[in-house]
């Protein structure tokens, strides 16, 4: 949520006024759609990565302010926790050598940030959840000192009216409570943006929803939280529970959570913005003075600030985004399912898989969402988060009616990778780059190895060598960081610790 928000008291009239302004913004948005005012196709993509700061011992360090002061670049910003940063890559046009250019920009930026972090005895880590995070780290005093985070925390806590319950059962079970939204800061992700026209938006969003499970299966990288081995991608259940404004009674009534996969395929971007207004009360009822209809009547483009702010507090895994660039409004699909890391090569490979696949599926004559029930897509997402690269997913039968359950690795290798290659060709991506980065995904499937499986296997080998739980997690984190900086994709990483786990007698 990048909007500038000033903390302050919120009274009853603020919420009523905000609701009216949201309705006015939605009417303005619909008018923009009806009048065909949105930007024409530019094949633009963008990328954001959330990062962790860790010390040489593998433990988190609460120093994002000091590190950002040394980095001194608008490309790097604060995130929710004091051990978090975010790096933003400028939009690129899909085509040519875009994947290689993206990788080079990321390496350059992250290497620079690493050098600056080292000046204060910290280091950069790209990982879905830092394995060494403990409950003592994820408390309100470790939230970044930014007004919008303080206000967001206050409003979510007030809406819930009681402690948050974290209850995740995976390989092991975690059950605890939290007094703030600070546990959300454990979740560090990659966000992939794709600018689309209104006419193409529904097809691209539906395609992104359909493939979310496959993305997570091959890209999972968050198996640990608070010293427990949970799901292979533990971010989604953690994010849901740590931002859940619903006490148990509202959950039992079927009230929708703010962290949401959704419940249906759509036919227009209007569907998602309307749902956000219909189902979710305002968390940050902050109004500006813009009258969207008056701006439109004068031939201008409204900022729709309330709609944008509200949209940023509904945490869909594929989120609709309204923006303005050079005075022209545009729409983006923001894909938020992937964890950060493990390496730049892995991040770009995940991006290549997504952008290629979403293009191919959005252009199919008989789209996958016409053959796959939405409920099956949602169950697939849950299965991929739980089991990672070992998940089994339901998918339409080729050339026949109905769906069948298949191993995720088989679905990706046999059906989705060829589609992703065709999609990258349609974007005009250089064939050598296409083959290089999609080859990374293929090798993960062949070896059944992604970030989560490497972390889990290395951790268990550390336990077998005599380390206790905390020491094994710290050693796994240190080894991960070392291999991450080597730059080689995770499927090539040697499993286990390099250094002796116990002192030689």
**How far apart, in whole angstroms, are the C-alpha atoms of residue 286 and residue 249?**
28
Query: pTM for the full model?
Result: 0.95
pLDDT of residue 9 exceeding 70, the answer is no
Look at residues 146, 53, 77, 128 and name the one whose alpha carbon lies nearest to residue 336.
128
pLDDT of residue 2 exceeding 70, the answer is no
Q: What is the pLDDT of residue 424?
A: 98
Count Cα atoms within 13 angstroms, Cβ side, for 104: 7
Look at residues 219, 188, 172, 190 and name the one whose alpha carbon lies nearest to residue 389.
219
Q: Pull the structure tokens for residue 376.
A: 């099956």
Strand ranges in 123-235 using DSSP code E only, listed in sequence order: 123-125, 164-169, 173-178, 189-196, 224-225, 228-229
**How far apart, in whole angstroms, are the C-alpha atoms of residue 362 and residue 207?**
6
State how far Cα 432 lies from the chain centre: 28
Q: Pull the structure tokens for residue 279.
A: 């189902």
Q: What is the pLDDT of residue 499?
A: 63
Asked whether the beta carbons of 259 and 239 are under 8 A apart, the reply is yes
Q: What is the pLDDT of residue 225?
A: 97
Q: Which residues fall within 8 angstroms of residue 177, CB to CB, at 6 or more apart?
A: 163, 164, 165, 166
Look at residues 386, 455, 444, 346 and name the one whose alpha carbon lies nearest to residue 232.
386
Q: What is the pLDDT of residue 29?
A: 98
Q: Pull the structure tokens for residue 104.
A: 């080079």
For the segment 39-53, the average pLDDT, to the nearest whole number, is: 94
- What tens digit of pLDDT does each residue of 376-412 get? 999 999 999 999 999 999 999 887 789 999 999 999 9
Dihedral (Cα; 496, 498, 503, 505), 10-degree rounding? 100
- What tens digit of pLDDT does each residue of 125-175 get? 999 999 999 999 999 999 999 988 999 999 999 999 999 999 999 999 999
For the segment 497-502, the average pLDDT, to the nearest whole number, is: 68
Q: What is the pLDDT of residue 401?
A: 83
Q: What is the pLDDT of residue 1?
A: 36
DSSP element (H, E) containing 259:
strand 259-260
Residue 119 has a CB neighbour count (10 Å cut-off) of 10
């Amino acid at each position: 949520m990048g909007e500038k928000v000033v903390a302050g008291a919120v009274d009853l009239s603020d919420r009523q006024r905000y609701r009216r302004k949201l309705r006015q913004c939605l009417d303005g948005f619909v008018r923009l759609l009806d009048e065909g005012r949105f930007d024409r196709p530019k094949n633009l993509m963008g990328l954001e990565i959330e990062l962790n700061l860790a010390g040489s011992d593998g433990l988190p360090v609460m120093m994002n302010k000091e590190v950002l002061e040394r980095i001194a670049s608008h490309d790097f910003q604060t995130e929710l926790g004091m051990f978090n940063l975010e790096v933003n890559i400028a939009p690129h046009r899909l085509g040519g050598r875009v994947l290689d250019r993206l990788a080079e920009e990321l390496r350059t930026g992250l290497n620079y940030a690493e050098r600056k972090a080292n000046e204060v005895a910290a280091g950069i880590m790209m990982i879905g959840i830092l394995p060494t995070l403990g409950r003592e780290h994820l408390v309100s005093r470790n939230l970044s000192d930014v007004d919008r985070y303080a206000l967001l925390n206050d409003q979510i806590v007030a809406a819930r009216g009681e402690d948050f319950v974290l209850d995740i059962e995976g390989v092991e079970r975690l059950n605890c409570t939290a007094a703030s939204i600070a546990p959300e800061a454990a979740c560090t992700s990659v966000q992939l943006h794709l600018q689309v026209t209104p006419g193409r938006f529904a097809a691209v969003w539906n395609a992104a929803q359909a493939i979310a499970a496959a993305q997570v299966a091959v890209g999972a990288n968050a198996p640990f939280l608070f010293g427990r081995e949970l799901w292979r991608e533990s971010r989604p259940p953690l994010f849901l529970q740590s931002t859940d404004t619903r006490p148990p009674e509202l959950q039992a009534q079927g009230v929708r959570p703010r962290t949401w996969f959704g419940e249906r395929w759509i036919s227009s971007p209007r569907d998602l913005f309307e749902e956000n207004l219909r189902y979710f009360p305002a968390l940050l009822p902050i109004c500006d003075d813009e009258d969207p209809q008056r701006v439109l009547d004068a031939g201008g483009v409204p900022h729709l600030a309330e709609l944008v702010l509200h949209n940023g507090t509904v945490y869909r895994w594929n989120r609709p985004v309204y923006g303005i660039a050079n005075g022209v409004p545009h729409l983006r699909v923001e894909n938020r399912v992937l964890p950060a890391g493990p390496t730049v090569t892995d991040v770009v490979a995940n991006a290549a898989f997504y952008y290629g696949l979403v293009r191919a599926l959005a252009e199919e004559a008989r789209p996958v969402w016409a053959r796959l029930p939405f409920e099956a897509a949602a169950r697939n997402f849950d299965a991929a988060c739980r089991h990672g690269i070992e998940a089994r997913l339901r998918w339409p039968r080729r050339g026949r009616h109905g769906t069948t359950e298949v191993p995720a690795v088989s679905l990706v290798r046999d059906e989705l990778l060829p589609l992703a290659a065709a999609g990258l060709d349609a974007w005009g991506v250089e064939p050598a780059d296409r083959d290089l980065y999609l080859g990374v995904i293929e090798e993960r499937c062949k070896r059944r190895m992604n970030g989560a499986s490497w972390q889990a296997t290395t951790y268990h080998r550390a336990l077998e060598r005599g380390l206790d739980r905390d020491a094994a997690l710290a050693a796994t984190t240190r080894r991960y960081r070392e291999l991450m900086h080597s730059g080689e994709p995770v499927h090539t990483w040697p499993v286990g610790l390099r250094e002796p786990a116990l002192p030689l007698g």
